[in-house]
């Protein structure tokens, strides 16, 4: 569903004011121009984007000045032996080869980097991930 600009602005205002507490959207739809960080407490990655810039774009919605929450939670869902686990593994290889990772974060985050997530998923250490087969 594509919202008209005015409806989208009103939706984002409702999120900032706390009248809407859950918002689902894709990286594309919730990317540039989505200023809803005021009250965000958690971000759930339902997939593992292929491009690291997509992860940064998503997390940039919550890890941002202006968020009233000093700590936020970022959760990644990975299915064992899936393409998402493979994608996270590739990011881990990039990190090991010295590829640039993420910028410093202005607030504390409960979990590790996407590269660490991939390694833990591959090693079966999924206590911090929602696990499904």
pLDDT at 56 over 60: yes
pLDDT for 61-93, tens place per residue?
Answer: 899 889 999 999 999 888 877 888 877 777 777
Span 21-49, mean pLDDT? 88
On the question of pLDDT at 125 being above 50, the answer is no
Answer whether 19's CB lies under 8 Å from 10's CB.
no
Domains and CATH numbers, the chain: 5-132 (3.40.50.300)
Burial class (CB in 10 A: 0-12, 13-18, 19+), 11: middle
Residue 38's pLDDT is: 92
Q: What is the pLDDT of residue 55?
A: 85
What's the pTM value of the predicted model, to 2 decimals? 0.63
What DSSP letter does each residue of the chain carry, written as one string? Answer: ----HHHHHHHHHHHHHTS-------TTTTSTT---GGG--EEEESS--SSHHHHHHHHTTTSSTT-S-SEEEEEEEEETTSHHHHHHHHHHHHHHTT---PPPPSSEESS--HHHHHHHHHTT--TTSEEE-
């Amino acid at each position: 569903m594509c919202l008209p600009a005015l409806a989208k602005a009103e939706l984002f205002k409702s999120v900032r004011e706390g009248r809407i507490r859950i918002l689902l959207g894709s990286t594309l739809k919730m990317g540039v121009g989505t200023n809803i960080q005021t009250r965000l407490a958690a971000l759930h990655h339902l997939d593992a984007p292929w491009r690291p810039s997509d992860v940064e774009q998503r997390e940039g919605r919550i890890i941002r000045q202006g968020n009233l929450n000093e700590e936020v939670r970022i959760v990644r869902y990975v299915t064992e032996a899936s393409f998402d686990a493979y994608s996270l593994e590739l990011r881990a290889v990039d990190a090991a080869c010295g590829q640039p990772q993420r910028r410093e974060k202005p607030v504390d985050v409960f979990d590790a980097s996407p590269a660490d997530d991939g390694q833990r998923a591959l090693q079966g250490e999924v206590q911090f991930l929602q696990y499904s087969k």
